[in-house]
Amino acid sequence: MNKRILALVGCALLTSLTASALEQPDNKKKDDKSEKHAPTIKEVYQKHFLIGTAGDLPGNYSREELDLVKANFNIVTPENCMKPGPIHPREDAWRFERADALVKWCTDNHIAIHGHTLVWHSQTNDWFFRDGEKAAVTQRLKEHITTLVGRYKGKIQGWDVVNEAINDGGNARTAKTENLRNSPWLKTLGPDFIPLAFKFAHEADPKAKLYYNDYNIEAGAKHESSLVLLKRLIKNGVPIHGVGIQGHWSTSHVPYEAIDRAISDYAALGLKVSITELDVTIRGASGGQFGRGRGQGTPPSAQDLKAQADAYARLFAIFIKHKDVVERVTFWGLNDRRTWRVGQHPLLFDANNQRKPAYGAIVEALQHPRPGSGAPR
Ligand code: XIL
């Protein structure tokens, strides 16, 4: 009797096990399907380079926007809150609240941070240059960098140490020189302000990746000047790790060939490259300077969006080709509402956080590259 019961129980168990074993793959398939999502850009490019966004997070961002950041980006650049102006308004006053909140939010969400920016001619208070006395200004520069970089040591993976030090335009003559911008930094400290800034940053966090960052340095006389400057820094043993090409372009004008060559030129100097402030406007002037082409809010047509998607795809084909040198590609903003180029529809998400055609084009650029797309057409 006991044996029969045992046999029956055994049989029932076996049946249910077999059934569940048979069912499992199906169930699992179902689960997989429900959990599976189309890979996001940071996932698609995981083995190539970091994909970043800029913003003063989490601040007044909506939950939907913060979720969008978490899903799509693995590195954040503070758009404004770590610039000298907002964070160090007076010599004896610091405003760390927003920067601290950003570092905490990114750390909690396992998102890396690239610091921006320590030395710039813009968004920097006049007190730095008061009296113009070299030793005093050097001391202020040192104190600023030491305090800021030191505070986030080990939490911020790298810094744009010097931003936009080279003059716009240029010609065959200036191309042979550094052609530095006549900023208060240059006026008070001379060309030494650049190596000094890198030295102070390196001392404050020896592991941080230190970048020189600028716009329009991929082409023409400004590119040549950037090479002259970088060669000086390298020759003098300055602890520079990479060059940031900002990447403020417009759909109708992206200098593909120049970008391709510029990355190779910087790599030949032994430097890494990041695209640090990428946006490709649909209409209106682009470029690094602020204030041009704003307010042209006409909605983009399907054709506009397609042209923008093509431009982004061609750009990413170049970045993929240089994946050994390119460390990071960061978009300057999150969506077409949170961008300094409002009205020019420059980013991957529209104002309602929906993916634009450019998003899919960037994914496709890696997953289904067009033949020969790595070489600029
Ligand atoms: C811009 C910000 O996006 C704006 O919000 C701010 O009003 C001005 O600065 N190059 C840089 C960035 O290095 O810091 C600039 O950011 C855009 C140009």
50-82 as b/e: b if 16+ CB within 10 A: bbbbbbbbbeebeeebbebbbebbbbbbbbbbb
- Asked about 277 being catalytic, the answer comes back as yes
DSSP strand E in the chain: where?
50-54, 75-77, 112-119, 158-163, 209-214, 242-245, 248-250, 272-281, 326-331
Q: For residue 83, how far is its CA from the centre of ligand 1 (angstroms)?
A: 10
Across 271-294, average pLDDT:
76
With pLDDT > 90 as the criterion, what percentage of the chain qualifies? 82
Q: How confident is the model at residue 22 (pLDDT cuts 50, 70, 90)?
A: very low
Ligand 1 probe mutation, 290, 336, 337, most atoms within 8 A of CB: 290
Mean pLDDT of the chain: 90
Model pLDDT, residue 333: 98
Instruction: Output the six-digit token pair for 62.
Output: 């909506």
Q: Is the CB of 279 under 6 A from ligand 1?
A: no
For residue 277, give the nearest of 87, 52, 60 by alpha carbon: 52
Q: Cβ–Cβ contacts within 10 Å for residue 10, how many?
A: 10
366/329 Cα distance (integer angstroms): 14
Identify the DSSP state of 250: E
pTM: 0.89
Give yes or no for residue 362 having a pLDDT over 50: yes
Model pLDDT, residue 169: 86
User: Contact at 8 Å (CB) between 71 and 109?
Assistant: no
Rg of the chain taking only CA atoms, in angstroms: 25
User: Contact at 8 Å (CB) between 296 and 343?
Assistant: yes
245/288 Cα distance (integer angstroms): 11
Nearest residue (CA) to ligand 1, atom 16 = 79
pLDDT digits (tens, 9 = 90+) for 37-93: 789 999 999 999 999 999 999 999 999 999 999 999 999 999 999 999 999 999 999
Identify the DSSP state of 81: T
Could you tell me what percentage of the chain is helix, strand and coil, using 3-state DSSP and rounding each to the nearest 5? Answer: 45, 15, 40
Q: For residue 1, how far is its CA from the centre of ligand 1 (angstroms)?
A: 84
Nearest residue (CA) to ligand 1, atom 9 = 80
- Asked about 203 being catalytic, the answer comes back as no
Backbone phi and psi for residue 163, each to the nearest 5 degrees, phi listed first: -115, 130
User: Contact at 8 Å (CB) between 304 and 296?
Assistant: no
For residue 362, give the nearest of 315, 330, 321 by alpha carbon: 315
pLDDT digits (tens, 9 = 90+) for 210-221: 999 999 999 999
Instruction: Output the six-digit token pair for 59.
Output: 């601040």
Identify the DSSP state of 205: -
- CA angle, residues 216, 218, 221, in degrees to nearest 5: 75
Alpha carbon distances (Å) from 114 to 42, 93, 96, 136, 340: 16, 23, 16, 29, 19
Give yes or no for residue 24 having a pLDDT over 90: no
Domain residue ranges in the chain: 41-367
Q: Is the CB of 296 under 6 A from ligand 1?
A: no
For residue 351, give the nearest of 338, 332, 364, 361 by alpha carbon: 338
Instruction: Output the six-digit token pair for 47.
Output: 């083995």
Q: How confident is the model at residue 299 (pLDDT cuts 50, 70, 90)?
A: confident
Across 122-134, average pLDDT:
96
Active-site annotation holder among 65, 79, 224, 277: 277
Ligand 1 probe mutation, 76, 211, 277, 294, most atoms within 8 A of CB: 277
Beta partners for residue 159, in sequence order: 115, 210
Q: For residue 185, how far is its CA from the centre of ligand 1 (angstroms)?
A: 19
Model pLDDT, residue 167: 98
Classify residue 229 by burial, with Cβ atoms within 10 Å: 0-12, 13-18, 19+.
buried
Q: For residue 80, how far is its CA from the centre of ligand 1 (angstroms)?
A: 7
Q: How confident is the model at residue 285 (pLDDT cuts 50, 70, 90)?
A: low
User: Contact at 8 Å (CB) between 110 and 73?
Assistant: no
265/294 Cα distance (integer angstroms): 33
Listed in sequence order, the DSSP H helices in the chain are 2-35, 41-44, 63-72, 84-87, 97-108, 134-151, 184-189, 193-204, 220-235, 256-268, 302-321, 357-367
Q: Is the CB of 340 under 6 A from ligand 1?
A: yes
332/275 Cα distance (integer angstroms): 10
pLDDT digits (tens, 9 = 90+) for 133-188: 999 999 999 999 999 999 999 999 999 999 999 999 899 999 999 999 999 999 99
206/197 Cα distance (integer angstroms): 13
Count of residues in the chain:
377
Fold of 41-367: TIM Barrel (3.20.20)
Q: Is the CB of 171 under 6 A from ligand 1?
A: no
Q: Is the CB of 163 under 6 A from ligand 1?
A: yes
Lowest mean pLDDT among 20-34, 91-105, 251-265: 20-34
Q: For residue 333, how far is its CA from the centre of ligand 1 (angstroms)?
A: 10
Q: Which atom of ligand 1 is nearest to the CA of 120?
A: 13
Q: For residue 18, how far is its CA from the centre of ligand 1 (angstroms)?
A: 63
Give yes or no for residue 270 having a pLDDT over 60: yes
Q: Which atom of ligand 1 is nearest to the CA of 215?
A: 10
Tell how far CA 201 is from the center of its chain. 19
Q: Is the CB of 160 under 6 A from ligand 1?
A: no
